[in-house]
Structure formats: C-alpha cells, structure tokens
Structure 1
Amino acid sequence: METLYSVLGLEWIDFSSIFLFLCVFLLLTDFLKNRVPRNFPPGPWALPFIGDLHRIRPSRLHLQFAEFAEKYGKIFSLRLFGGRVVVLNGYKLLREALVQQGEDFTDRPAVPIFEDLFGNNGVFFLFLFFPKRISLAAIRPAASVCVCVCVCVCVCVCVSKGLVMSNGYQWKQQRRFTLHTLRNFGLGKKTLDFSIQQECQYLIEAFADHQGKPVNAQPLLNNAVSNIICCLVFGDRFEYTDEQYQSILNNFTEIVRLQGTTVAQMYNTMPWLVKWLPGPHQKILTLKRHITDFIKTKIREHIENFNPASPRDYIDAFLIEMGEKDGSDSVFDHSSLSACTMDLFFAGSETTTTTLHWGLLYMIFYPDIQERVQAEIDAVIGSSRQPSMTDRENMPYTDAVIHEIQRMGNIIPFNVARSASKDTAIDEYTIPKVHNPLIILVPFIFPRQTFWLSILNLQEPTQPPKHKKQINIQYTKKPQNKTNKQTNKLTNC
C-alpha cells in the first residue's frame, strides 16, 4: 500500500485525513440534499443525517405535532422519513389541500420502508471506468496524478404498485377496477350482510368455547374481520384453527407494531446504511415476504381452477382483466395483483379489528353506555334474528356510540402521506414538487357528550352545531375504499 501511495504521489495522506475528508464530504452532501426551499413552511432546526428524529416519540406523535403547531403555526415542516415533511393542522388548511387543490396532492411520497413493503425493487450495478487527472495543487503544490477511477453505482428502481402507494395512471386504473369489482361482489350492498352475519355467528361460537374464562379478544376479532376480506378477495373464509392463516394474521399485526419503532424510522432516514444492519426492519421485510408468498400461492390456486365465465372473487376478476388488457403498457399484471391483494387484506382487516378492540374496551369502562346500547338492540332487533344495515336508521344511539368509539379510539390519527405532483402553494407557503410526505393532521376535540347525536340529526338540536363542517372525515380527491365496508362490519358486530 505504501508503494502504491508513493507511485501515485499520495504518501502525504493518512487515515485521519481520509476520515476528516469523508466527514466534511458527508456533511456537505447532507446540507445540499436537505436545503430548505424558499418560502417553505417553518419548523425546528434539524440535525445532520437524523433530521428531527430525536424530537419524535412514536407513541405520542400526534400530540407532538399539535404542540409543534402551537409553536410554528398551523402549517409547519419537519425533517423526517429521509426528507422534508409538511404537516397541516385544521379544517381550513385540510380542505384547501385535499379538496380545492386535491389534484395536486393525489400522489404518494417515496418513503423507504413503504417502498420495500409495497414496491417492486430492481437493483443493478454499473461499473464505470474513466481516466481522470486529479490536481492536488491546492493541498500540495505541483502534485498532480493521472489515475483510472472505478466508480460503482448502485441503482435501485422502485415502482410502487397496488392501491395505497401507487400514483398517476396506474392508481386511477386499479382503483376504478377495484371499486367496480368489489361492488359486484357485494361491497356496499345487502348481499354482503349475509357473509358478515355468518362470520359473526362463528365469532360468537368462538367466544362461547372459552366458557366465560379470560380471553384475548384481539385474535378472534382479527379472524372474523379478515374472513370478510377473504370472502371478497379469495372467495372463501378460513377456519380459526388454520395454522397458516393464523401465521399470516400474526405477521400483519407484527408488521404494524414494528413500523412504529425508532429503528424502523431510522431506516427511512438512512436506508443506505440501516438496510445492511440487523434490527426490526429486517424482520418487517421477512414477514412481508411470508405474506407475499401466501398471496402468490392463492393466486396460483386460482389460476389452476380458473373459469373466465364464472369469476368467484377479486382475484378471478383481476385475472380476467389481465387477459383483456394484455400489453406492455398494462397496469394489470401478477405483481400488481399481489400488491392490490395485500393492500385490501391489510387495510381492510387491521383497522376494523383495532376499532372493535377499542369498542370492547370502552364498553367495559362505560357499563352505563353498554346497557343503553343493549337496551336499544333488544328493542329494535330482539333475540330472534341477527342485525343488518337496515336496522341502522332505527338505532340512533348505537350509531352514535360507534362514531364516538371511532373518534376516541383514533387508530389512524394522520391521513395517509401525500406528495405534491407539481409546485403549488398552501396558505402563504410554497410546496415544491418533491418526493416528500405531506402528512395531514386533524386535532379536533369535541366538547360535549351530545355532539354526535346532534351532528347525526339523531335528536333535534336547539341550533346548528358550531363545528358541523368538521366531522366530514373524508376530505379528499383520493378516497379510501373501505369506509362503507368498515361501517357495515362495525355495526353488525
């Protein structure tokens, strides 16, 4: 090595010089990469490399954002997830971004952990050789050497597919197809009531098997809710004793838990480094592969028994669409089918299960409300039949309680992250077209117990509620596909 340094005239370089150069180079690179754009929303001073990660506590992130809003204003920025994050607070800004300028914010941002979960990554290496005359005169007079520099460039191409993280034409086509297909199989119709009622009966029997002993309700609720999704996507339900099915549900639950860890957030900040280190993020990717393998197995089973004349479920309908739109520019392929299936399974099961879990907890803590709900159920439905969505209009108190559970449980305090598809402005600030998340926060606190009864017109209010406009949860040009389906499942359960 010393001989090589002598030949190249670099014997003056030692380890400390190299280390110092790398530190300065990395700091300069970080500064240039993360420079705050002009007229950008204000925020705290970020540290190099980790940004504002040291300020964040995942367990109270929504509360911290509310505190930042008091200090920096209703619109502020943070450096998280490997880039700049713009956080909006309040009805006015929310409506301006998602309704008045909705087309500008329909895209999803590039978040590393989500790219690895929902994207299709292709990695290839380019080895570039070129001669370069390096002048060292500024450091050492008359020092100049011609060397052949080999640069290894790792290029990672990630194309997010599915219903959650895809953008543009692909998202529009798959969303349109998914809504149309799920409606054909009963979503939002009375035909889905039968599947929900049947699954509720299986759930009641599963609880009865424990004969009044203490039981963890979460796995049983997860089984029941996920089976509704399975009926739509796979065409059939799974038994609660199916070991493979239980493993998949446990994997989903574990992924949700691990995503909130600090190490997982570090992955978003420095994926090029953390990706090669051990930690929870490695387990997330492993669990995701197991889920993907399960879905691919189900797709292969559908292909083996496929009858285009008689589609049984979402997968069959997708296979038919693939055959009709077979081409290089088609967004319907096997990888998209796998991604869409995973999105439907994940988004439709985890959220409803967690909400039902909160519902059980609140019924335990508020037995007086539980008694009033039970009294209304007995009066309207009785014990001779199961509930259906047609009973909803006759059960205002139960309907109000379900809404209040969803509000107080607050299982998703933020909207799904967005990014600007073009340079735009919110309030007096400029949001550039960059692949940065735009997180939406609506920290509303409803002051009185009769709020939902008045808002839902379940009783005659003395005057229009002051905050009536604030209960419309779904302000967006990119609506979530599961709202009605979740309400049906919550009401029947």
Structure 2
Amino acid sequence: MLMFGLLIFLCVLLLVKHLRDVLTNNMPPGPFPLPLIGNVLNIGFTDPLGSFQRRYGDVSTLYLGNNPCILLTGYESFKEAFVEQADIFTDRPYFPIIDKLSKGKGLIFSSGHMWHQQRRFALAALKYFGVGKKTLENSILQECRFLCDSIQAERGLPFNPQHLVTDAVANIICGLVFGHRFEYDDHKFHLIQEYLDDVFQLPISNWGRLYNQFPTLMSMLPGKHQTAFASMSKLKPFLQEEIIKHKEERDPSNPRDYIDCYLDEIEKCKDSEAEFTEENLIYCVVDLFGAGTETTSNTLRWALLFMVKYPEVQEKVQSEIDQVIGQTRQPLMDDRTNLPYTYAVLHEIHDTTVGGRLISKGVMVLPLLKSILQDKNENSTPYEFNPAHFLDENGKFLKKDSFIPFSIGKRLYPGEQLARMELFLFFTSLMQCFTFLPLEGRTLSLKGTIGVSSGPEPFQIRAVPQ
C-alpha cells in the first residue's frame, strides 16, 4: 500500500508540474497536451497536418511529446517569420529519425554555417549548369520528347502515368548531378527512385512519428522505418560508385555536373566547418533528388488527373496552345506570356493540392503550406479547382504574392526556377500532344497520399494523340 500511495503521489506531482508548465509557457493557443504523449491523439492518422488547419488561428501550438511546436497556417504569419525574420528561422529542429537518415548533413535538414555554405554552393552550381537559362530548357525539351514518345507507345490503352512522369523529371536531376540520363526501362534507375521514395516518405509517416517518440524501442522493432533505413544504406554504394567514376574521369578545368563541381570544392575549400566531404556530397545528392523529383512529378500527376476530371478545362488549355504554338514546334518558356489560361491552370494545380506572439528560442516552428495555398482570404473558392483564381477580369495571368508552393525566405527551395521550367514545359508539351481521358465506367479519386508533398493515389488514364 505504501508503494502504491507513493506512486499515486508521484503521478499527481508530475501532473501538477505538467499543468504548471503548459499554463505558464505563454505559447500560442492549441489543444491541451497530455503528459508524455502531447497532442498525439489530436493528430489525424489519415491527414496528420490537415487536422490542425485554421482551428486555432494563424499561429497555434502543437505538442509533439513534451516538445511544443508552433504551427503557421496563414500567409502573413508565414511571411513575418521566414522573410522579415529570416535569419532567426533558418535552423532545422532535431529529430531522431532525421539524425538516423542523414546525420544532420545535406541540404534539407542541415543547419547553421554548414547549411549556409552547402546551400550557397548548390545555388551556384545549379546556375552554372543552366538553371533558368536556355541550355537547360533544351535538355528539358529533349526529355519532353522522350516522355511523349513513351506515352505514345501506350497506344491509347489504359496506363498509370506515375513511373513515366517520375522518370522524366528524375532524368533532369540526373543530367545536372551525374551528367547523364537513364532509359525509362533501366532497372537500376527504378531501384534508386524506390529507395529515395522510402527515405523521403518516412519522416512524415506514422512510422517516422513513432520513431521520433520512441527511438530506442523502435530501433529494435520491425516496420517501414527499417525498410527506409535499409534503402538509405542501399543508395550509398550506388552514389559512391558515381563519385569514384567522376574522380577518375573529371577534368577540373571543365566540370560536367554537380558532382564534378563538389569534388573541386572539396579540394579547394579550407573551411572545415563547411564540411565539404564525400560523405556530405552523398547526402546533398540524395536531397537534390528527393526535392527535385517528388514535388515536381507529383504536381504533374495532379495536372493529368485534373485535366481528366475537368475535360472542359483541358479543352480550353489545348485550344490556347493550338492558337499560340500550333503542332509544328515544341513549347518554349517564352510562350508563357501568351498562354495566360494555361499558366493559370498550372498555378491552380499547385493551389489545390508570428502574429504578435512571443516564440521562445529553440522552439520548433512548422509552416503548413497547404493551408496557406488554400487560404479563403486569398481565393474565392479555395477548395474548388478554379483557374480563375489566377486570372484578372481581362483574362490575363494574375500573379499573387501568397502563391508560395516552393516556400519563401532563406529556406526557399534552391531549384525553384528549375521546377517552374520543368512544370511549364512538361505540362504544355503533354497538352499539345495528347488528350487525356478516363477509363470508361471509372470514377477517378482526388484523394491525396500522405508525404512530404502529397501526390494523388495511383490511377489509370488513356492518352489519345491530338
């Protein structure tokens, strides 16, 4: 009885301490956290972040275990944090799952001086190899032809566009990083994509959340987290093989790709804290592939799905392309200004997918881009597919400051220009060459998957040549 009473006393003491800590920490509003597990019961398992959208205002608090996390769900609070106070909000929080996957290295999850130097180098390298320039546009147009030829080979029969679209987008990154592309039927190419998908889906998955809460226990249990760890281990030998090949063949006076430039930087850089090492090169390449492939390929798959669901929009896009470009040449980036409706549709596809509060140093801040892109204050019908959101009264393209699918501030995706170029050229080329149709008697779902970027659930369509 004495031990039981002592246990009850300790539990009450811990509960009182927990209540005092929560009630006196001056955090933004949010659901009351339970001891040890925080708000885990408030987070939906089918849409973990969506369950918090707009419920407690633009700035709210979510507890991950005992650790508070500030959620930003409005454009003004987002801009205030990541633009007006950019230097304060650049570091990444510590998560056991991230430490296990990347050791805090690379481009996405690193922080501090190392991150600044790695990002600076990545931006310079991407610019050197043509991001935002005509040379890269030509490479993307070549890949557009390969993609259209592969879809043509489906002969109008039902097919799932996921692998073809992902292959095409991934090949653009391959050209920048490795200096060469892969054939769409290359087994190694598909294995790399499979491993990358395992790695990048884990942090946002339920398995990743469990690992962050109980890393020691989860490291001993089977599950998808173990699959992702194994996939990361399988990725490394392939990338090391590419690095060795580059070291043997490279000409320092004529770098061919990102790896060549990075190897030059390893030799030249005297700043040891910048961590230009072959190990960090591997994590940087993984991040470039993950960030440069998943979001763009998911957006293109959404584009095809929306065109099938809204045939009147597809028809209007094709009519505009026929009038401006015709069928005798490929689309060019210069065509954007003359294709306002097509450009508005592409932006709408993106869209549908610190507020006077004191935020203590070291507290994690999490921006929810989805809620910002679907803000009812910015769009008249935020939950409907409506290209008019990006057109003025004269039918001209309307640029919006709140349209930030690649984030803003110092954590802006370094390949933003590349992604914009890819999306426009791939989408316009596909609309120029094909009419996409549903399977007879089938209803396509607009439900998204859970991931770093949400893609549509697997679907089949038909592509009929124009």
TM-score, structure 2 as length reference: 0.81
Counterpart check, 1:78 vs 2:11: no
Q: From 21, 25, 34, give the equivalent of 1:47.
A: 34
Q: For residue 76 of structure 2, what is the amino acid of its counterpart? A: K
Q: For residue 489 of structure 1, what is the amino acid of its counterpart? A: E
What is the CA deviation profile of residues 332-366 of structure 1, one whole-angstrom value per residue up to 9, with x for unaligned ones?
11111111111111100000000000000000011
Q: Which residue of 2 aligns with 1:432?
A: 360
Quote the Cα distance in structure 1 between the aligned partners of 2:403 and 2:165. Answer: 27
Please show how residues 211-230 of structure 1 align to structure 2 within 5 Å.
211-230=155-174
Counterpart check, 1:276 vs 2:220: yes
Counterpart check, 1:59 vs 2:3: no
Contact 2:102 2:283 in 1 (8 A): yes
Q: Which residue of 2 aligns with 1:168?
A: 112
Please show how residues 436-475 of structure 1 align to structure 2 within 5 Å.
436-441=364-369, 442=372, 443-445=374-376, 446-447=379-380, 449=386, 450-454=388-392, 458-459=395-396, 468-471=400-403, 474-475=407-408
Contact 1:292 1:342 in 2 (8 A): no
Q: For residue 45 of structure 1, what is the amino acid of its counterpart? A: F
Contact 1:82 1:270 in 2 (8 A): no
Displacement, 1:59? 2.9
For structure 2, list consecutive stretches of 5 or more residues without a partner in the other structure.
427-466
**What SS is found at the alignment partner of 1:196?**
helix
Q: Which residue of 1 aligns with 2:254?
A: 310
Contact 1:102 1:477 in 2 (8 A): yes
Q: From 420, 423, 432, give the equivalent of 1:490.
A: 423
Q: Which residue of 2 aligns with 1:92?
A: 76
Quote the Cα distance in structure 2 between the aligned partners of 1:172 and 1:262. Answer: 31
Quote the Cα distance in structure 2 between the aligned partners of 1:33 and 1:299. Answer: 54
CA RMSD of aligned residues (A): 3.0
Quote the Cα distance in structure 1 between the aligned partners of 2:140 and 2:362. Answer: 43
What is the CA deviation profile of residues 264-300 of structure 1, one whole-angstrom value per residue up to 9, with x for unaligned ones?
2111122232222222211111112222232222112
Q: For residue 484 of structure 1, what is the amino acid of its counterpart? A: Q
Please show how residues 13-24 of structure 1 align to structure 2 within 5 Å.
none
What is the CA deviation profile of residues 315-340 of structure 1, one whole-angstrom value per residue up to 9, with x for unaligned ones?
00000011111464442111111111
Quote the Cα distance in structure 1 between the aligned partners of 2:337 and 2:395. Answer: 9
**What SS is found at the alignment partner of 1:430?**
coil
Tell which deviates more after alignment, 243-252 or 57-66.
57-66
**What SS is found at the alignment partner of 1:181?**
helix
**For residues 372 and 97 of structure 1, do their structure 2 counterparts lie closer, same or farther at Cα, with a shift above 3 Å needed?**
same
User: Which structure has the larger Rg over C-alpha atoms?
Assistant: 1
**What SS is found at the alignment partner of 1:434?**
coil
TM-score, structure 1 as length reference: 0.77
Quote the Cα distance in structure 2 between the aligned partners of 1:339 and 1:22. Answer: 48
**For residues 375 and 207 of structure 1, do their structure 2 counterparts lie closer, same or farther at Cα, with a shift above 3 Å needed?**
same
What is the CA deviation profile of residues 379-423 of structure 1, one whole-angstrom value per residue up to 9, with x for unaligned ones?
222222211211111111111110011111x2xxxxxxxxxxxxx
Quote the Cα distance in structure 2 between the aligned partners of 1:246 and 1:23. Answer: 58
**For residues 248 and 435 of structure 1, do their structure 2 counterparts lie closer, same or farther at Cα, with a shift above 3 Å needed?**
farther
Contact 1:58 1:260 in 2 (8 A): no
Q: For residue 114 of structure 1, what is the amino acid of its counterpart? A: I
Displacement, 1:51? 1.6
**What SS is found at the alignment partner of 1:431?**
coil
Quote the Cα distance in structure 1 between the aligned partners of 2:248 and 2:16. Answer: 52
Please show how residues 86-125 of structure 1 align to structure 2 within 5 Å.
86-119=70-103
Contact 1:78 1:86 in 2 (8 A): yes
Displacement, 1:24? 5.4
Q: Which residue of 1 aligns with 2:25?
A: 38
Quote the Cα distance in structure 2 between the aligned partners of 1:266 and 1:34. Answer: 27
**What SS is found at the alignment partner of 2:358?**
strand
Quote the Cα distance in structure 2 between the aligned partners of 1:432 and 1:486. Answer: 35
**For residues 82 and 311 of structure 1, do their structure 2 counterparts lie closer, same or farther at Cα, with a shift above 3 Å needed?**
farther
Tell which deviates more after alignment, 46-55 or 385-394.
46-55
What is the CA deviation profile of residues 174-215 of structure 1, one whole-angstrom value per residue up to 9, with x for unaligned ones?
111111111111111111011111111111121122222211
**What SS is found at the alignment partner of 1:59?**
coil
Q: Which residue of 2 aligns with 1:325?
A: 269
For structure 1, list consecutive stretches of 5 or more residues without a partner in the other structure.
1-13, 120-159, 411-425
Q: For residue 377 of structure 1, what is the amino acid of its counterpart? A: I
Contact 1:77 1:86 in 2 (8 A): yes
Q: For residue 459 of structure 1, what is the amino acid of its counterpart? A: K
Counterpart check, 1:388 vs 2:375: no
Q: Which residue of 2 aligns with 1:346?
A: 290
Quote the Cα distance in structure 2 between the aligned partners of 1:168 and 1:50. Answer: 30
Quote the Cα distance in structure 1 between the aligned partners of 2:124 and 2:280. Answer: 17
Quote the Cα distance in structure 2 between the aligned partners of 1:80 and 1:212. Answer: 49
Q: From 475, 479, 482, give the equivalent of 2:412.
A: 479
Q: Would you say how many aligned residue pairs link Structure 1 and Structure 2? A: 414
Contact 1:229 1:349 in 2 (8 A): yes
Contact 1:229 1:348 in 2 (8 A): yes
Contact 2:346 2:424 in 1 (8 A): yes
Displacement, 1:44? 1.6
Quote the Cα distance in structure 2 between the aligned partners of 1:31 and 1:305. Answer: 63
Displacement, 1:82? 6.4
Displacement, 1:32? 7.2
Contact 1:81 1:268 in 2 (8 A): no
Displacement, 1:259? 4.2
Quote the Cα distance in structure 1 between the aligned partners of 2:33 and 2:348. Answer: 38
Displacement, 1:47? 2.2
Contact 1:82 1:111 in 2 (8 A): no
**What SS is found at the alignment partner of 1:186?**
coil
Q: Which residue of 2 aligns with 1:251?
A: 195
Contact 2:114 2:273 in 1 (8 A): no
Identity over aligned pairs, percent: 38
Contact 1:396 1:458 in 2 (8 A): yes
